[in-house]
Structure 1
Amino acid sequence: MGQDLAPPLLESLLPGTGSKLLTLGNIIVSVVGTGVLGLPFAFRIAGWLAGSLGVTMVGLTTYYCMLLLVLCRQKLASEGSLAEAKTYGDLGYRTLGITGRHLTETLILFSQCGGAIAYILFIGQDLQSVFQDNGFTFTSHAFFLVPIEVGLSSIRSLSALAPSSIFADVCNVLAMGIVVKEDIGQTMTGKFSFEQRTTITSDIKKLPFAGGMAVFCFEGFALTLALESSMQDRAEFPRLLALAFCGVTFLYVLFGFCGYMAYGDETRDIVTLNLQRTWTSSTVKVGLCLGLVFTFPIMVHPVNEIVEGWLKRFKWFKYLHADDNDSTRLGRIGTYVNRAILVTGLVVMASRVPAFGEFASLVGSSVSVLISFVLPATFHLKLFGSSLHMWQKALDFVLVFVGSVFAVYGTYSAIVGV
């Protein structure tokens, strides 16, 4: 079956060899993604106070649920009857059987596809804003990516693409810096008053929409077990995870707040679209797009593995693949065709998505909530059962109930729009 995606820096590591500093870097790289550039829009929807509290709550809950996954694996390992659960899918299988594996891997598949579509949306819209005089539409820019991504998907070693992921994160930081600079400039010139910004939205129905976008920002949940197993001293993982989440959550709140303060009701669902057409902002946008073009194959890698793992159940597919290395020429061609179909399908879906914000909220409200909150709490209840304290049971039940309700209503809210 498919494996969970390993973050770029982890690609070259063996289990148990990662230093504290490298693990901290891996956590940050795996958590921070393009969703952060939609946070100012979420603050516009929810209000700056509700947005700040919401992002903080999502960050704390994500951290807690990541620890639950580690505890569940440690529980299984202590029993000694089973091999260590290496992936989220393995943990689902050990906890809920084959149904748990199928459910977990299906959710990961949809989550990764959602992230890949978000990449396409981001690239297409930013390129259109930079080169708006060339006459090409968003759809045209998106379909230009198909041959490039099909070619990159044929690269077997993800480590060859690792620098681009770091490059994209550097561009993310630069984009965040430019937005903060814009906010400071607006404040210094007195172009807005603090009272003009919404504190808490008067329409409570909008909060789940903003909440879905906040959940979408905390990527990399399925990487928790890989991150923890990469450490030399696993006992230090909770402390490093807490340190990383404190820093990331603080920056998320600061960036969402500053972005909304800078642009107010004109804040776009991708805040870089608010930037003026200057040489600096255009360079950052193009840099972000280039980084995401080369990071896209990493995002869809687990999707390819899961889909091809399912296909290997069929005799005709097994015949085309003499071994795991796709040694037959026909097998390699079949793999490339399968990946080309996937890339094309994702681009087609992206071209039908109305807006980045609505899509990010939909993925965050549906798939991400289930992966990040509902499943970890369910696994924890299942494995520990009566040994849990009453408050731990109550907290797990709250996570399962509230997460499930939020998934249903948040999905509806994202589909209906704001």
Structure 2
Amino acid sequence: MEQDSRSMATPLLESLPSRTGSKLLTMGNIIVSVVGTGVLALPFAFRIAGWLAGSLGVAIAGLTTYYCMLLLVLCREKLASDGSLAEAKTYGDLGYRILGNPGRYLTETLVLLSQCGGAVAYMLFIGQNLQSVFQGNGFTFTSYVFLLVPIEIGLSWIGRLSALAPYSIFADVCNVLAMGIVVKEDIGQAVTGRASFEQRTAITPDIKKLPFAGGMAVFCFEGFAMTLALESSMQDRAKFPRLLALAFCGITFLYVLFGFCGYMAYGDETRDIVTLNLPGTWTSCTVKAGLCLGLVFTFPIMVHPVNEIVEGKLESFKWFRKYLHADDNDSTGLGKFGTYTSRAILVAGLAVMALCVPAFGVFASLVGSTVSALISFVLPATFHLKLFGSSLHVWQKALDFILVFVGSVFAVYGTYSTIVGI
């Protein structure tokens, strides 16, 4: 199954013709793709690890993610120079070209799990923040999650995701506003003398907590599977590495600043979603409601790659094509019903998963430690080693082996420590 490149693209990318994106537009797409709800859990990660350990962890995660994104681009360029018949458009295509069918299955499975994890995080975030805004009305977290289900099912049936692009931008604007309000609150705490730098931990004495915080830091750098689509959207693709470096420098700096300020403001009272620490003022409530509204409309974007993979697999079955399609290009009424049903089942299943998650921070750490570490570090280094082989310098081989080993150990131990923490 050759997966369409749009399955790994945001609506902003989907609306662009191939290779027509300016540097400014590509920069915006990178920011929209990378920055997500995980940033609002960073102050909690700093509380767990300490402000110094947290800052170093975020910087290392950002630098490593950037390097591994470049490895994917190098691998595609290598395949193109070797005379491949068609360009690898998606992460799954790249896995297939390098490792065959097992590579595609592994890559697409990890992408599916990653996107499902992000979608569950959206539901957790929306439910907890709505409960915080509308306190005392008798609605519980479970009630808000189930209220989301019919809305998200309806949105998942929309054919063109480009119609939801403005809401994706709106959600990112709300993220920036939330970060600004947290920083403002931190300054207020410092001015009134309620925040003491000496009372904040630099490095936690319990080093067993560091993988937990590390998983949350890795989770913050979303959008790894969109690397190839982002690079393809540029007019001058040779400038992509430098543009990506500038974007990651800015994002990483803001992440460190935000996590540091949030932890300094609330200390040991820092919640796993820092917006829950905000006072009950109309400004804070407006930001929370705006974040929730934006994520309601960007939820279909998060599950779109999952729908693409699932429906693509269904298309491979002869009985599905025979009974649900009039011909190769036209779906029958029964076929459309089958598509709508599969998408509704997916949304309902994700909602049930969200209700089973004990806390946003725990879930973010689990996804970051497992799926995100494998898809962002282990697979790119493996592809690089497999494709370039003996042509690599000793230091390049050593770095790839370190990424594979450390990423795998981190995935195993991070998962263990998160489960034990639960």
TM > 0.5: yes
**3-state SS in 2 of match to 1:397:** helix
Q: In the alignment, which of 323, 332, 339 is matched to residue 328 of structure 1?
A: 332
Write the distance in 2 (CA, Å) between the matches of 1:241 and 1:256: 22
Cα deviation digits, residues 208-259 of structure 1 (max 9, x gap):
0000000000000000000001111000000000000000000000000000
Which residue identity is paired with 1:177? G
Distance apart, 1:326 and its partner CA: 5.1
Change (3 A) 1:323 1:17: farther
- 2:157 maps to what in 1? 154
- After the TM superposition, which residues 35-74 of structure 1 pair with which residues of structure 2 at under 5 Å, given as runs? 35-74=38-77
Write the distance in 2 (CA, Å) between the matches of 1:250 and 1:340: 39
Cα deviation digits, residues 239-290 of structure 1 (max 9, x gap):
0000000000000000000000000000000000000111000000000000
Cα deviation digits, residues 342-375 of structure 1 (max 9, x gap):
0000000100100000000000000000000000
- 1:211 maps to what in 2? 214
Write the distance in 2 (CA, Å) between the matches of 1:117 and 1:26: 23
Do the aligned residues in 1 keep the contact of 2:195 with 2:266 (CA within 8 Å)?
A: no
**3-state SS in 2 of match to 1:192:** coil
Q: Does 1:317 align with 2:312?
A: no
- 1:404 maps to what in 2? 408
- After the TM superposition, which residues 303-382 of structure 1 pair with which residues of structure 2 at under 5 Å, given as runs? 303-319=306-322, 320-322=324-326, 327-382=331-386
Which residue identity is paired with 2:359? A
Do the aligned residues in 1 keep the contact of 2:58 with 2:252 (CA within 8 Å)?
A: yes
Change (3 A) 1:324 1:344: farther
Write the distance in 2 (CA, Å) between the matches of 1:341 and 1:322: 24
- 1:195 maps to what in 2? 198
Cα deviation digits, residues 95-124 of structure 1 (max 9, x gap):
000000000000000000000000000000
Which residue identity is paired with 1:30? S
Distance apart, 1:312 and its partner CA: 1.7
Unaligned runs of 5+ in 1: none
- After the TM superposition, which residues 5-84 of structure 1 pair with which residues of structure 2 at under 5 Å, given as runs? 5-84=8-87
Distance apart, 1:8 and its partner CA: 2.3
Write the distance in 2 (CA, Å) between the matches of 1:16 and 1:314: 34
Which residue identity is paired with 1:261? M
- After the TM superposition, which residues 95-174 of structure 1 pair with which residues of structure 2 at under 5 Å, given as runs? 95-174=98-177
Write the distance in 1 (CA, Å) between the matches of 2:218 and 2:320: 37
Cα deviation digits, residues 2-59 of structure 1 (max 9, x gap):
4442122112111111111101111111000000000000000000000000000000
Write the distance in 1 (CA, Å) between the matches of 2:249 and 2:92: 27
Write the distance in 2 (CA, Å) between the matches of 1:373 and 1:324: 38
Q: Does 1:387 align with 2:387?
A: no
Root-mean-square deviation (Å)? 1.0
Q: Does 1:269 align with 2:282?
A: no
Do the aligned residues in 2 keep the contact of 1:76 with 1:82 (CA within 8 Å)?
A: no
- 1:223 maps to what in 2? 226
Which residue identity is paired with 1:147? P
Write the distance in 2 (CA, Å) between the matches of 1:323 and 1:241: 43
Which residue identity is paired with 2:205? S
Which residue identity is paired with 1:216? F
Do the aligned residues in 1 keep the contact of 2:8 with 2:90 (CA within 8 Å)?
A: no
Change (3 A) 1:130 1:408: same
Distance apart, 1:129 and its partner CA: 0.4
Write the distance in 1 (CA, Å) between the matches of 2:254 and 2:184: 14
> Which deviates more from structure 2 when the two are superposed, residues 321-330 or residues 83-92?
321-330
Change (3 A) 1:354 1:234: same
Q: In the alignment, which of 218, 226, 238 is matched to residue 241 of structure 2?
A: 238
Do the aligned residues in 1 keep the contact of 2:272 with 2:359 (CA within 8 Å)?
A: yes
Aligned length: 418
Identical pairs, percent: 84
Change (3 A) 1:197 1:337: same
> Which deviates more from structure 2 when the two are superposed, residues 276-285 or residues 77-86?
77-86
Q: Does 1:296 align with 2:299?
A: yes
Do the aligned residues in 2 keep the contact of 1:326 with 1:332 (CA within 8 Å)?
A: no
Which residue identity is paired with 2:157? S
Change (3 A) 1:27 1:323: farther
Do the aligned residues in 2 keep the contact of 1:272 with 1:285 (CA within 8 Å)?
A: yes
Distance apart, 1:133 and its partner CA: 1.1
* TM-score, scaled relative to structure 1: 0.99
Write the distance in 2 (CA, Å) between the matches of 1:321 and 1:118: 35
Write the distance in 2 (CA, Å) between the matches of 1:362 and 1:72: 28
Could you list the runs of 4 or more consecutive aligned residues of structure 1 that deviate by over 4 angstroms after TM superposition?
323-326
* TM-score, scaled relative to structure 2: 0.98
- 1:281 maps to what in 2? 284
Write the distance in 2 (CA, Å) between the matches of 1:196 and 1:369: 32
Change (3 A) 1:161 1:405: same
Which residue identity is paired with 2:150? P
Change (3 A) 1:284 1:79: same
Do the aligned residues in 1 keep the contact of 2:51 with 2:203 (CA within 8 Å)?
A: yes
